[in-house]
Chains A and B, each alone.
Chain A
């Protein structure tokens, strides 16, 4: 579904991605793990067109998407739950959810999907009219995921959804990711919480200073000694 080939990204003089190759097959959960500053967020931001690569190719459903504006890429079915959630604090919960469906015209479908998001996250329904900025961190994360789902994406990318959440909530978030995946969603997940991510992932990539240094099935990577040392505190 998504093919990334030899991706190079620069921030001014910083060579942030130094030839990233990656494949996300349809219907799978793929995770990208790595230390802080390795280039995980940059990879996702480049896929959504927020950052322009210097070279390399990105193909989504067989179509090249490098160079397209973000709004076109989102319309083709890619969505990103950005790092730090980035809900719109000055908008109500419902408005945030509605914004996720900004490009859609099917009113009835939007209404149904709002109900679906509320079923997924009942706490959001209770807080429908609250400003998003007044939500707790966990609720904001739910809102960010719900908002992303409203675009009816084919590929859902999440940038560290568990960051800064209490352990109990982290488990909630991973359960939700699993649940959404079971509904047929393809997922590309970035995590620092490598153990939890690899456990639910079909496939994993380990990225270090802008390069993929290791890849394999999720179940294999969890067992991998080097990974255990570097990321799993083993």
Chain B
């Protein structure tokens, strides 16, 4: 929609400047809302990497788990907001179980074994999804309140855009509070340094690792549910590309650093939307931007925006 508008503007000779600004703002809002989703999902990658030095390749697939949980519950007449809450809980449980089953037994194994295990879990979830849910895309019910069109300061966009941004801000504030102001958050930060020293503080390492997976998975679930509202066609492989892109966002921000993941997510979302808005002919390359960014980051600043040099963990 916006894309056509820009063409139109050029066609009519860029007459109306106000229109151009509105067009810019609308796309920016859209970019920020997509960036919100990327940020929420990227946090899970970065938190798990922070404590286990592991890229949890199954993380993206949790989006799909959350989206299908919502889909089936709404189909069973559960009110949508209860379905959403339950889906977050279910996804958190799945995340915790993945760690228990596939990563914990390998905790003292070479890094590569755990990585292969992570890839295996990802394939397992995707293929289980294909078998159980079938590959046919499903349409997710979008509650009316997300379907309104909202005008604010001259720009018109879907109410969902604002709900996504608002929900993300609330979740991020809650996360900042958890990490910095609570005892559990302190333990999580300690665990990122050393399991041995943390356990000398009488910290229950396994419990905190599980908790970290629960938090990361819940945020991914929120991301997945809002993703399904934004792009209401879900399929068992829907988590693959968002997952990869959010991994890129985490690397861009500096993997292991939560603030970095948020910044990386927003940059990625905004760049992706704005690039296509300004150069509509690039639309077909939409999914490529993230990976171009990944290559550039790895070439020029492998530690990412906020990243310090990650030490080998003992």
B149 interface residue per 8 A CB criterion? no
Asked whether, in the complex, the Cβ of B200 is within 8 Å of the Cβ of A70, the reply is yes
0 or 1 for each of A38-72: is its CB under 8 Å from B? (1 = yes): 00000000001010000000000000000001110
Asked whether, in the complex, the Cβ of A71 is within 8 Å of the Cβ of B202, the reply is yes
B86 interface residue per 8 A CB criterion? no
Min Cβ gap B192→A in Å is 7
| Bound Cα distance A187, B197 (Å) | 19
0 or 1 for each of B164-202: is its CB under 8 Å from A? (1 = yes): 000000000000000000010011011011101101111
Given contacts A86-B194, A89-B193, A91-B189, contact A99 B199 (CB under 8 A): no
We find that the number of chain B residues with CB closer than 8 angstroms to chain A is: 17
- Which of B189, B192, B197, B201 lies at the interface centre, i.e. has the most chain A CB atoms within 10 A of its CB? B201
| Bound Cα distance A95, B204 (Å) | 17
Q: Which residues of A contact B204 (CB under 8 A)?
A: 71
Asked whether, in the complex, the Cβ of B186 is within 8 Å of the Cβ of A95, the reply is yes
Partner of A102, one of B189, B192, B203: B203
Q: Which residues of B contact A50 (CB under 8 A)?
A: 196, 199-200
Residues 146-180 of A contacting B (Cβ, < 8 Å): 147, 151
Asked whether, in the complex, the Cβ of B192 is within 8 Å of the Cβ of A90, the reply is yes
| Bound Cα distance A151, B193 (Å) | 20
Question: Which partner residue on chain B sits nearest A89 by CB separation?
Answer: B193
Label chain B's interface by main secondary structure.
Answer: helix
Asked whether, in the complex, the Cβ of B197 is within 8 Å of the Cβ of A70, the reply is no
Assign chain A's interface to a size class.
Answer: 20 to 34
Q: Which residues of A contact B203 (CB under 8 A)?
A: 71, 99, 102
Min Cβ gap B184→A in Å is 10
Q: Which residues of B contact A103 (CB under 8 A)?
A: 201-202
| Bound Cα distance A70, B205 (Å) | 10
Q: Which residues of A contact B200 (CB under 8 A)?
A: 48, 50, 70, 74, 79-80, 82
| Bound Cα distance A160, B189 (Å) | 26
- Which of B189, B193, B200 lies at the interface centre, i.e. has the most chain A CB atoms within 10 A of its CB? B200
Q: Which residues of B contact A82 (CB under 8 A)?
A: 196-197, 200
A15 interface residue per 8 A CB criterion? no
0 or 1 for each of A90-111: is its CB under 8 Å from B? (1 = yes): 1100010011101100000000
Q: Which residues of A contact B193 (CB under 8 A)?
A: 88-90
Asked whether, in the complex, the Cβ of A75 is within 8 Å of the Cβ of B202, the reply is yes
Partner of B201, one of A69, A90, A100: A100
| Bound Cα distance A63, B194 (Å) | 28
| Bound Cα distance A63, B231 (Å) | 61
Asked whether, in the complex, the Cβ of A102 is within 8 Å of the Cβ of B187, the reply is yes
Q: Which residues of B contact A100 (CB under 8 A)?
A: 201
Question: Which partner residue on chain B sits nearest A103 by CB separation?
Answer: B202
Question: Which partner residue on chain B sits nearest A74 by CB separation?
Answer: B202
Asked whether, in the complex, the Cβ of B201 is within 8 Å of the Cβ of A102, the reply is yes
Min Cβ gap A2→B in Å is 16
Asked whether, in the complex, the Cβ of B187 is within 8 Å of the Cβ of A71, the reply is no
Question: Which partner residue on chain B sits nearest A147 by CB separation?
Answer: B201
Q: Which residues of A contact B196 (CB under 8 A)?
A: 50, 70, 82, 86
Min Cβ gap A175→B in Å is 24
7 pairs of A and B residues whose beta carbons are closest in the complex: A103-B202, A70-B199, A74-B202, A86-B197, A71-B202, A99-B201, A102-B201
Binding site for A on B (CB under 8 A): 183, 186-187, 189-190, 192-194, 196-197, 199-205
Q: List 20 A-B contacts (CB under 8 A).
A: A48-B200, A70-B200, A70-B202, A71-B203, A71-B205, A74-B200, A74-B201, A75-B202, A82-B196, A86-B196, A86-B197, A88-B190, A88-B197, A90-B193, A91-B189, A99-B186, A102-B201, A102-B203, A103-B201, A103-B202
- Excluding A99-B190, A100-B201, A102-B187, 8 further A-B contacts by CB distance (< 8 Å) are A74-B201, A75-B202, A86-B196, A88-B197, A95-B186, A102-B201, A102-B202, A102-B203
Binding site for B on A (CB under 8 A): 48, 50, 69-71, 74-75, 79-80, 82, 86, 88-91, 95, 98-100, 102-103, 147, 151
